[in-house]
Structure 1
Amino acid sequence: MRTCSYISAAAASPPLRQQWPGISWRHHSRQLQCRRSQQGYSAAGTRHDDLDDQGDSRLRQNAGIFQPSIWGDFFLGYSNPAAPNSLPQQIQMEERADKLREEVAEMIASSTTTASRLHLIDALERLCLDHLFEQEISAVLAQVETADVSDCDLGTVALWFCLLRKHRYTVSPDVFVRFKDDEGGFLVDSPKDLLNFYNAAHMRTHGEVILEEAILFGRRRLETMIPYMEGSLAHEIKSALEIPLPRRVRIYESKYYISTYEKDATVHEKVLQLAKLNSNIMQCHHQHELDIITRWWKDIQIESRLPFARDRVVECYLWMLGVYYEPCYSRGRIILTMIMAIAVLLDDIYDSYATPEECELFTRCIQSWDSKGAHDLPECMKFALEKILDSYETIENLLQPEEKYRMPYLRYFTDDLVRSFNIEVKMLQEGYIPKSVEEHLKVSIRTVGSPIFSCASFVGMHDIATEDCFHWVSSEPKMVQALSVILRLVDDLQSYEREQLIPHVASTINSYMKEHNVSIEVAREQIHVLKEDSWKDFNSEWLNPDNTYPKQLLDRIFNLTRIVEFMYNQEDKFTNCHNLKDTIHSLLVEPFMIHT
């Protein structure tokens, strides 16, 4: 039985909409527009007559730091031109996809050579089709794990190694020893083989010297090749040097690979047909979810009159789409996006708007889960508090009676988040710089949000997320700790200069400079080294056989870590959200035109 079925996932959508309380779906968009017009809201959704002089002053202090999102109400009632116009058409499209799925499944079963099987699985993963073939892929990997690859070329061995490690097989890097040359390098026949080797080496753990050597050798050689490469291979090399393949978010690149494989004619036509159809089916689901999420967020913005909130709900959804894109995880995506949007809202309150005294009071109110003690807060913060509490009730209403035990875990991490935010406020107020990176991380890995996101990624999943799994994730295991450190370090590396423009809590870069009495340039280099060490920690836990929890759950944490690399590669894309425009448009707006 497969995890995700098109028809079963589609059938789940109407009940999800019915479960959502307090929203009149058909007329809500029109009501929002009327209410905004009647009550005098600005373009940002803020009532001019509700901001007192003190509030205006606070806003001016941070004006222009954050780009506004360009999406606004775009996804409210958005009609996908590739979407079927009726239920029979929808069923026909899904039946066509199911037929293609059966034909591709036969292709997987009929593949005979190790190389052909590996390349087919690799293509299915890059096209985001692997969730349709979980049983078939698992069967193939179980067989190829013991395959003799001693006569295979470097590229095939690297693909074998990378795929198996990505699926939690603890294969040894000793398979690469025979490719070493007498000068300390590696015998490589082609740029493609070298690229596969370089990517595979990033599944390394501590002490795997040959993989460390492969990364150094591969990067040096690939950088020299780029000027002489063109086409898709040049794009692949450049992408790998920015973010190695095992760390990339597959859904963000899936449409690129559909177009590339079609142009290069390297993948069977039926696979490409299924990929396009699957992409459009998933896009319809995602647009429906964005409609729900946008309505929820606009309700918070307009009713709460929050002048300090970054409008990032579409970007939050993109982030969580990378955690799980499959249609069957619709509820999980919606819940996780809500939690991230709330976390961003809380971050803005503590970081950019509230006074230390207000932060203390706001923290106590969140921890008591009661807004009655908020009478001394500014009106907009009172509304924010009420809307946050209401949203947690909304999330709880989305859970079945037997799943409601999950809410205390989510509330625990929310308490922990605001408590940690409040500690940072006090650190800023006192001008305190932690004397070491280790001391800094005791607080800052919590404010970066990874613990709450890891927990929240389980909340909307189904029976596979048991109470034992929530005990595990709430203990903040080493895998979650490694994710948290990676996110904190890459965030600090990309946001350091921007945060110097305003009063801001010290970063890990400041702490490293203080601890080792070094320049900012040296501190940056060493923070990057610490980040790579944390990736080794993460990979070690990923391959740890003692982590007996379902791979479907561990994948959520791995995907969160991948998204971190994407969002903070070369810049802070989440803050500079205009740089996500093309990715969002490609994934969530632009369909494949398929001729029937």
Structure 2
Amino acid sequence: MAAKNKHAGDANKESGDTTTVAAAGGTSVWGDFFVTYTPPPSQRSEEWIRERADELKGQVRRMFVAGKAMGIEDTLSFVDTLERLGIDSHFREEIDAALTSIHSEEGPDLGSFSNDLHFVALRFCLLRQHGFWVSADVFDRFRDASGDFSMDLADDPRGLLSLYNAAHMAVPGEAALDEAIAFARRHLEVAKCKVRSPMAEQVSRALEIPRPRMMRRLEAIHYIAEYEQEEAHNTTLLELARLDFNMVRSLQLKELRDISLWWRDLYNDVKLPYARHRIVETYLYTCGVFHEEENSRARMILAKAFAFVSLLDDTYDSHATLEDSKRLTEAMQRLDESMVPVLPEYMRTFYIKILSNFNDIEDTLEPWEKYRMIHIKKMFELQCEKYFQEAEWSSKNYIPSFQEHIDVSVVSTSLPLLFLVALMGAGQHATKEAFDWALGIPDMVLGCAETGRFLNDIASYKQGRKCKMDVASSLECYIKEHGVTVSDAMAAFATKVEHAWRRINQECMQLDRGILPAAQLVVNMTRINVVWYLRGRDAYSSSGSLKDTVASLFIKDFPIY
């Protein structure tokens, strides 16, 4: 979550002396804005909006029934539109049935669109995103006699864009898709200055973040406006998307107010002035994991857990002496009020709040879900053990090997913990089989955490957030161990991030389909990593860089027509 620093020189620091520590990341750019914010009145009542949305959902379901007779191209476009508009969650069963049917028609001849790059790529991308294996050989028909992609494709920007997005669903070892990415990117860079709106914006957006890696809610807010510009747009889908976005936004603003009030009270009570104010960004993160109305409880649980992780991170990172860190780690292993007197005075209220909020979260769980809280507590224990290991390294000026660092710091990103918390409250996604699978910290969860670790350390280095007392970052360990330049190390890390994505893609296509909805949460978390560290920034530490994103999702006018 943050660049690691501090513990060297602990002997010269008095326990609890807040005057010697700079605030981590500064104050919130939002303050109490969402506590007092009142959105402009809607043109329609909430009751009317819900009734109209239900009516439109019925119409869309009838389109699926009627669509059984339509061609594969139309079905693919229909499903793709639902997903890009952000309304696919209302039609999960229908979409799964449609794609299962399309996948069953796998064969050397894909039908009427065999030579249409857009539809071949769209089919490939959608099926892989939904856990169906499709061979990359389907793109061989678009190569020339020498085995290279045909130059005729340079005049097909829509096909190139679909190829570029689809190729990012690659798994490890698919060199052919590396070629596809390079070829499509090269020609899209030229095409983006020639194509019209909205294609120009879609190309620019994909070149920055390929669509399979884009935060779903951000893609929806862009595409709703773009879809309206398409001559053949479906007015039913567009109206439903606008209504749904407003209904979800209305609920999320209420949640944002509640979590902001909760955070204000918590921060005032624990009195940890070195800790970052990032509750709005924390809540934004939860909306990236799951934005649907049905996941309100899960968002609130995840936001609170993330807030406590942030407080723990800043305590270990920015303030606690090594002895303080040791006591806190021991207390987190017990999670019992009897440990309060063991802690330094400044940590005691914080620790009590952790215990009480754990109880509050458990109270929100159904009886059959409550066993999961035991595992969440164990993950918090593991999290603090890794924080303490980093504190020990820093206090001893120890530079670990790259692998030593990764074994610790991938967990200390908090992403394995946050995934388990997200799944705990995720309703229908959180089957017993899915939760048992998640407890093993699967490779795709590690891949998600690795993207967070590598992108964070690249951003920290670029922004110069390091000093002589910092524990070495994974990037610095890599540079020292391999004797390479900074630019070479950053290139190697970019390759590692790409490989992590491919492992995530691969596991999604190997899992039992009953676990796939839970795995999609990991994909969503990895997508947020991409947004968080876009262009080498660290949007959590420097939260002003997310201000426009927050405003577009929660504040900017989004009329209902």
Could you say whether these structures have the same fold, taking a TM-score greater than 0.5 normalized by the shorter chain as the test? yes
8 Å contact from structure 1 (residues 204, 536) kept in 2: yes
Shift of 1:591: 4.5
Is the partner of 1:135 in helix, strand or coil?
A: helix
Is the partner of 1:143 in helix, strand or coil?
A: helix
Give the whole-Å Cα distance in 2 for the aligned partners of 1:67 and 1:115. Answer: 51
Shift of 1:393: 1.2
- C-alpha distance after superposition, 1:277-304 (max 9, x if no partner): 0000001111121122112111111111
Higher relative contact order (CA 8 A, sep 6+): 2
Q: 1:225 to 1:467 in 2, by over 3 A?
A: same
Q: How does 1:256-335 map to 2 (within 5 A)?
A: 256-335=222-301
> What corresponds to 1:105 in structure 2?
61
The counterpart of 1:122, out of the listed 80, 93, 103, is 80
> What corresponds to 1:397 in structure 2?
363
Say if 2:114 is the partner of 1:158.
no
Give the whole-Å Cα distance in 2 for the aligned partners of 1:139 and 1:376. Answer: 57
> What corresponds to 1:433 in structure 2?
399
Is the partner of 2:494 in helix, strand or coil?
A: helix
Q: Partner letter of residue 114 of structure 1?
A: I
> What corresponds to 1:76 in structure 2?
35
Q: 1:472 to 1:283 in 2, by over 3 A?
A: same
Say if 2:104 is the partner of 1:146.
yes
Shift of 1:481: 1.4
Shift of 1:183: 4.3
Shift of 1:370: 2.5
- Of stretches 385-394 and 122-131 in structure 1, the one that deviates more from structure 2 is 385-394
8 Å contact from structure 1 (residues 80, 591) kept in 2: no
8 Å contact from structure 1 (residues 84, 90) kept in 2: no
Give the whole-Å Cα distance in 2 for the aligned partners of 1:53 and 1:505. Answer: 20
> What corresponds to 1:66 in structure 2?
25
Is the partner of 2:330 in helix, strand or coil?
A: helix
Give the whole-Å Cα distance in 2 for the aligned partners of 1:566 and 1:485. Answer: 15
Shift of 1:184: 4.1
Give the whole-Å Cα distance in 1 for the aligned partners of 2:267 and 2:42. Answer: 30
Shift of 1:150: 4.9
Shift of 1:249: 0.8
The counterpart of 2:17, out of the listed 55, 61, 66, is 55
Say if 2:148 is the partner of 1:185.
yes
Is the partner of 2:17 in helix, strand or coil?
A: helix
The counterpart of 1:381, out of the listed 344, 347, 356, is 347
Is the partner of 1:373 in helix, strand or coil?
A: helix
Q: Partner letter of residue 366 of structure 2?
A: Q
Is the partner of 2:35 in helix, strand or coil?
A: coil
Give the whole-Å Cα distance in 2 for the aligned partners of 1:185 and 1:576. Answer: 43
Q: How does 1:5-84 map to 2 (within 5 A)?
A: 55-59=17-21, 62-63=22-23, 66-76=25-35, 78-82=37-41
Q: Partner letter of residue 135 of structure 1?
A: E
- Of stretches 275-284 and 391-400 in structure 1, the one that deviates more from structure 2 is 391-400
> What corresponds to 1:561 in structure 2?
526
Q: Partner letter of residue 169 of structure 1?
A: F
> What corresponds to 1:461 in structure 2?
426
> What corresponds to 2:439 in structure 1?
474
Shift of 1:374: 4.0
Give the whole-Å Cα distance in 2 for the aligned partners of 1:472 and 1:54. Answer: 41
8 Å contact from structure 2 (residues 131, 513) kept in 1: no
8 Å contact from structure 1 (residues 283, 591) kept in 2: no
Say if 2:247 is the partner of 1:247.
no
Q: How does 1:443-458 map to 2 (within 5 A)?
A: 443-458=408-423
Say if 2:56 is the partner of 1:133.
no
Give the whole-Å Cα distance in 2 for the aligned partners of 1:149 and 1:380. Answer: 66
- C-alpha distance after superposition, 1:390-429 (max 9, x if no partner): 2111101111222210100100100000110010011111
- TM-score, scaled relative to structure 2: 0.91
Shift of 1:371: 4.2
RMSD over aligned Cα atoms: 2.0
Say if 2:503 is the partner of 1:537.
yes
Q: Partner letter of residue 409 of structure 1?
A: H
Q: 1:206 to 1:329 in 2, by over 3 A?
A: same
> What corresponds to 1:43 in structure 2?
none
Give the whole-Å Cα distance in 2 for the aligned partners of 1:542 and 1:347. Answer: 30
- C-alpha distance after superposition, 1:29-62 (max 9, x if no partner): xxxxxxxxxxxxxxxxxxxxxxx99634323xx3
8 Å contact from structure 1 (residues 362, 374) kept in 2: no
Give the whole-Å Cα distance in 1 for the aligned partners of 2:428 and 2:181. Answer: 40
Q: Partner letter of residue 53 of structure 2?
A: A
- C-alpha distance after superposition, 1:201-234 (max 9, x if no partner): 0100122222121012112222233333453222
Count of matched residue pairs: 536
> What corresponds to 2:454 in structure 1?
489
Give the whole-Å Cα distance in 1 for the aligned partners of 2:57 and 2:195. Answer: 35
Say if 2:136 is the partner of 1:170.
no
> What corresponds to 1:27 in structure 2?
none
> What corresponds to 2:3 in structure 1?
none
8 Å contact from structure 1 (residues 191, 222) kept in 2: yes
Q: Partner letter of residue 563 of structure 1?
A: I
Give the whole-Å Cα distance in 2 for the aligned partners of 1:505 and 1:225. Answer: 45
- C-alpha distance after superposition, 1:73-125 (max 9, x if no partner): 2222543324589xxx4333211101111122223333412222211211110
Question: Which structure 2 segments of 5+ residues have no match?
Answer: 1-13
8 Å contact from structure 2 (residues 285, 528) kept in 1: yes
8 Å contact from structure 2 (residues 15, 324) kept in 1: no
Give the whole-Å Cα distance in 2 for the aligned partners of 1:464 and 1:587. Answer: 24
Give the whole-Å Cα distance in 2 for the aligned partners of 1:370 and 1:574. Answer: 31
- TM-score, scaled relative to structure 1: 0.86
8 Å contact from structure 1 (residues 451, 476) kept in 2: yes
Give the whole-Å Cα distance in 2 for the aligned partners of 1:297 and 1:513. Answer: 39
Is the partner of 2:190 in helix, strand or coil?
A: helix
Q: Partner letter of residue 184 of structure 2?
A: G
8 Å contact from structure 1 (residues 445, 484) kept in 2: yes
Give the whole-Å Cα distance in 2 for the aligned partners of 1:466 and 1:342. Answer: 26
Shift of 1:135: 1.9
Q: Identity rate of aligned residues, in percent?
A: 36
Q: How does 1:347-362 map to 2 (within 5 A)?
A: 347-362=313-328
